[in-house]
Amino acid sequence: MPISKDPKDWTALIVDDEPDNVGVARKVLNYGGAKVYVARNGLEGLALLEDVRPTFVLLDLSMPEMDGWEMFRLMKADDSLASIPVIALTAHAMAGDKEKVIETGFNGYIAKPFRISSFMDEIQKCLDEYEA
């Protein structure tokens, strides 16, 4: 089933331990009409996925308890979660980081700090590529 281009139809799960990043991403997504859930680490993210089926996950890579790499690996190993698009939302922005993320199988990559003005467009681009 195609992913709607209308953010009002989106349910997003943000998994990030940095409150400022979460707050900005949540506000931008809410402003666009999306429903947003938040987890502070991979363990909380996986627990939320037991009850919530998001349109996509915005996943930080460096977090305490369980990092984004491990959460991603566990999601892809679970048939009920494997089809959910996962976009890395990360401060890992050195040369080669984006390539490593995409090679690992993430459906997109958004570097932090992200631009508020283009954040929704970046998410849409990742979702469009996921469906391609």
pLDDT per position as a tens digit, 8-21: 999 999 999 999 99
Res 87 pLDDT > 80: yes
Residue 2 inside a domain? The answer is: no
Domain that holds residue 86: 7-131
Q: Rounded to a whole number, what is the distance in angstroms from the first to the last CA of the chain? A: 12
Asked whether residue 102 is assigned to any structural domain, the reply reads: yes
Give the span between the Cα atoms of 96 and 80, in whole angstroms. Answer: 31
Whole-model pTM: value is 0.94
CATH number at 42 reads 3.40.50.2300
Question: Is there a domain that residue 98 lies in?
Answer: yes
CA–CA distance, 84 with 63 (Å, rounded to integer): 20
**Residue 54 within a domain:** yes
The CA distances from residue 18 to 7, 33, 39, 83, 124, in Å, are 23, 22, 10, 26, 23
Domains in the chain: how many in total? 1
When pLDDT is averaged across residues 32-56 and rounded to a whole number, the result is 97
Residue 1, in any domain of the structure: no
